[in-house]
Chains A and B, each alone.
Chain A
């Protein structure tokens, strides 16, 4: 005779259920958390479009972040999402300025290559065959080369609820942090479409409306919450966050941290994919801090 349903209503049954749940979530955590040492797959084909999620903080962190990103290649990182805390107008302004700078840099580059083209054309007048050949080569090279992705279509600035306002009591901080966590899922899942409710028409728009490929942060409190949100997405493999290898995380400890990790750093050292420090003394902290010289 099979046991009755009421016989399941015992504490041993719930204990067993709880243990199964615990074991399952531990196994899942082990699966999604990064290994001790960073290993990448060098044979991964470069996708046509990628999205980077950049977490900005207060003055100092934002300042350092744009030093880190100074050589950002918009051909590779085609959509940028900048995250600022509510009330931080400075960081939002800096992000817009940075994007303007990227745009200007590309325009300068284009002008220079146009000058080069004209030079080749004038040289080619002497020998027509040679000129045609060269022109065809250039054409082929241009088709192979990815176009720069600058301008307002290729970035967005999103605001998260502030985790802890200055002078906010420590008692209410957990609640506002949960608000920040909840408000971070939307921007992580997708950047807003260019036209409301329009499906993406180019690979760039598709990448922008997908999960970020890379999350970059350097230590503000918001960063801890954004990384936590990305772990939740990976844990449940939401939109393939884990199976498609999305939401890789890079943490860069502030240049101002010479002898000890910051609180954000200590919280994140085990869970981000890469943890980079800028002073040799901090190398190997948490068993995995990498040091590659001063980056800012």
Chain B
């Protein structure tokens, strides 16, 4: 992993552990996405590609080649890894410190982890999956201003939106979710069920 310096700005892409979301890897390495990232001041692009190393290698090579030809020097460092035993905590920390961005599949685990780190998040639902409740979650979360919903066919637009979103994003977990209603923590629900009053 690259060392952290003050000028670094990292975009981290997670594709899920079980079935890699190859469409997302391809999409983020498209010229339009790369240009949008460079325009946003990003210096590093880190991709967790799972078992799709061949997709990553193929598209990263093309992207680097293109940047080299057009710019002479590589303005954006592209790096990747397959899995991390330590549940991506180090990567989230690094993105948080570099004021970066996370582009993720719509798994609830990645969404929760990103929001708890207060990092702008673009969620790209995998339309190839059979059940569409991931799409429902992404839509509901976008409506509440927790994240931006992206699309594999045009990720650049979402990346452009993310800079403005950084200052608008809502706090998660919400202090009072829903208006004028009582909220409880799960610990309180457990105590209540057991009849514990303290």
Contacts and interface: CB of A to CB of B under 8 A. Distances in A.
Interface of A: 38, 40-44, 46, 50, 52, 59-60, 63-64, 67-69, 71-73, 76-77, 213-214, 216, 248, 250, 252, 254-260, 273-274, 276, 279-281, 291-296
B178 interface: yes
Interface of B: 17-18, 107-109, 112, 133-134, 136-137, 139-140, 172-174, 176-178, 181-187, 189-198
Given A257-B133, A296-B112, A77 B190 contact: yes
7 contacts: A40-B193, A44-B196, A63-B108, A76-B194, A248-B194, A274-B189, A294-B173
Given A257-B133, A294-B177, A64 B108 contact: yes
A255 B172 CA distance: 13
Nearest to A245: B195
Contacts, number: 104
Contacts of A59: 17-18, 109
Contact of B185 (A43, A50, A248, A295): A295
Given A59-B17, A248-B194, A258-B140, A293 B189 contact: no
Contact of B193 (A64, A250, A296): A250
Contact of B108 (A60, A259, A281): A60
B186 A294 contact: no
Contact of B136 (A213, A259, A276, A296): A259
A68 B193 contact: no
A279 B140 contact: yes
B140 A76 contact: no
A69 B186 contact: yes
Contact of B109 (A60, A77, A274): A60
Contacts of B139: 258
Contacts of A42: 195, 197
Contact of B112 (A43, A255, A257): A255
B108 A250 contact: no
A14 B178 CA distance: 57
A274 B193 contact: yes
Given A59-B17, A60-B109, A256-B108, A41 B186 contact: no
Contacts of A256: 108, 133-134, 137
Contacts of A64: 108-109, 112
A71 B109 contact: no
Contact of B186 (A76, A252, A280): A252
B133 A258 contact: yes
A38 B190 CA distance: 12
Sorted nearest first, the 4 A-B pairs with minimum C-beta distance are A293-B183, A44-B195, A292-B184, A293-B177
Nearest to B139: A258
A200 to B, nearest CB: 21
B112 A260 contact: no
A49 B190 CA distance: 15
Contacts of A252: 186
Nearest to A46: B196
